[in-house]
Amino acid sequence: MEYRYLGNSELKVSAITFGAWAAGGWMWGSTDRNEAIQAIQASLDLGVSSIDTAPVYGQGTSEEIVAEAIAGHSRDKIQILTKFGMRWDVNQGELVGPSKDNSGKDITLYRLASKESIIYECEQSLKRLKTDYIDLYQIHWPDTTTPIEESFEAVAQLVKDGKIRYAGVCNYTAGQLVEAERVCPIISNQIPFSMVNRDNDLENIPFCQANNIGVLAYSPMERGLLTGKIKNGQQFAEGDHRATYKYFKPESIERTNAFLKKIKPIADEHGITLSQLVLRWTIDHPGITIALAGARNAEQAISNAHASDVKLSTEQIEQINRLIQSEL
């Protein structure tokens, strides 16, 4: 496994980091708790030392699963990355809209990053994660109802109190990141990035590169689309958000699968899966520090971890990049 420092910090994380959104079940058509735990433990066994989660993933379920999975491991060998700023238990902040929890109960989501809310959320996450500190604490989404200065004054206080080691952001623009940095050192930005979704290559990734800020690429496999296993007519479980997600429209699936067919010979040459090729390409991309890779079971987790072992030549990367530009 490769390990990399986030930005200019001393926080060293695994290049393939376990993404625990799907493990929480929410928006993924539920979860099998035991399989999720086994997936995380299989990752740990192969050197995946970093786990990214959030309170909203299953309304606490994902963080609880992470705690159970890492029990018995040396805490200082594992990096817990979690978030704040998405509430389902209050009617405050920026309205996101209706959703359902894992039991099918109606909930309403808000983006809330007030000082009081952040302090409260941190305490709740520490309890669910059964730890006394969080390695990287990230705002989940910008909250337009709270000044950025107020949010990161609270985060800076948590750092001072020893509750968190480092602060990060998610889904922030370069301008928002600069504003947050005026109040609290920011070591990373977690943003969507994949072969089919490269919008952040225009500004955010170059900005982070220039300012020595780590980039955590989420959805690098575009929620399963880039595995090559998604076909037109795919039936998703009830509550699985991918059923209406834009990249899962028939024309997008066809175009993506045609592209994957063209890069498959490179995967075959290395004796690896398309998923492993996609993850390796992602962590080789300029400006990307780590790729967040979700897994529903141990088999998927093992496959993801081994993507770090792959060595792509410069010519192969350039070939993939040319095909991305022409096909996607």
* Distance, CA of 189 to CA of 301 (rounded, Å): 24
Scan for tokens 């994957």, then name that residue: 260
Half-sphere exposure of 124 (CA within 13 A, CB side): 19
Task: From the candidates 3, 57, 137, 247, give the one annotated as an active-site residue.
Answer: 57
The DSSP-derived string for 55-66 is TTTTTTHHHHHH
| CA gyration radius, the chain | 19
Q: What is the largest CA-CA distance in the chain?
A: 54
Catalytic-residue membership of 120: no
Q: Which ranges constitute the DSSP H helices of the chain?
A: 33-45, 61-70, 115-129, 148-160, 174-181, 204-210, 250-270, 274-284, 298-306, 314-327
Rounded to whole angstroms, what are the CA distances from 259 to 99, 234, 278, 315, 322? 34, 18, 12, 18, 11
Backbone angles phi, psi at 135, to 5 degrees: -75, -45
Residues labelled as active-site residues: 57
